[in-house]
Amino acid sequence: MDLELSGKRVLVTGGSRGIGKAIARVLAAEGCDVAICARNAEALETTARELAGESGRKVIPIVADTGSTESVRQMVSIAAGRLGGVDILVNNAARPGGQGPVPGLADITDGAFNEDMNVKVMGYLRCAQAVAPHMARAGWGRIINISGLAARNAGTTIGSMRNVAIVAMTKNLAVELGPHGINVNVVHPGLTRTEATPGVIQRRAQAEGVSADEIERRMAQGNSVRRIVDASDIANVVAFLASPKSLAINGDVIAAGGGVGNSIYY
């Protein structure tokens, strides 16, 4: 299937590593020119060179902090200027999770809550505000918000709250922007293999006194495909949502955890 993505102009936040990097890689391979943003200039530049070399497409690194309105405005201005516009926004920048103990009620602080919500929820909103005028003028656009299955499961209070907020924001934006040709959707990854996964597995193996293979086997039992979903698998889902072929999907949530849990959503 031709996803009709060749020549599209993409902005991926949190694009220097992990899921964001995988998304940028797949979209560049589909013929998109891509701007990637993150706070670490060295990692950004390394990723941009790598992906441009693989794809032959333009991959632009932009140092930005989605926790700052002014930084987001500058980021979008640079991306639109260098690419000639922005057709697709992938909101992915967030504080990393799942790599340490989850705080209980007594240990949740105002600072941790506010930082998490500012970077992810308000950060996604800031980026949408900044790119929407470009898309509306073109009469077409796609915004994909990377959230997470913590929205559907208890166990991390702040993570659940922020991810539910992303879903609510997405539906509201879809209703408002849909008439302008802009579709807005959410992807909920679950446990996902990234560059950080080997270190996480090794630390758990050492702490529990078992092999790394055993830890990976246990982690893979959490979904129905019985393997850890890879960041590239998430990227393939995003690529379809970013394409003109995804017209029928707007304001919706796509779970991409390999079949986590037994609950029925309808």
Cβ(195)–Cβ(183) below 8 Å = no
Please name which of 237, 143, 122, 126 lies closest in space to residue 190, comparing C-alpha atoms: 237
Percent of the chain with pLDDT over 90: 92
Cβ(205)–Cβ(185) below 8 Å = no
Report residue 134 as tokens.
């470009």
For the domain spanning 9-191+231-251, the CATH number is 3.40.50.720
136-157 average pLDDT score: 95
Half-sphere exposure of 257 (CA within 13 A, CB side): 22
User: What was the pLDDT predicted at 17?
Assistant: 96
Phi then psi for 228, rounded to 5 degrees?
-75, 125
Per-residue pLDDT of 201-226, as tens digits, reads 999 999 999 999 999 999 999 999 99
Cβ(88)–Cβ(10) below 8 Å = yes
What is the value of pTM for the model shown? 0.94
Residue 254, SS3 per DSSP: strand
Cα–Cα distance measured from residue 62 to residue 169, given in angstroms and rounded to the nearest whole number? 25
User: What was the pLDDT predicted at 262?
Assistant: 84
The residue extents of the domains of the chain are: 9-191+231-251, 196-227
Is residue 99 over pLDDT 80?
no
| Long-range contact pairs involving 38-42 (C-beta distance under 8 Å, separation at least 24) | 38/13, 38/14, 38/63, 38/64, 38/93, 39/63, 39/64, 39/65, 40/16
Is residue 100 over pLDDT 70?
no
User: What was the pLDDT predicted at 261?
Assistant: 84
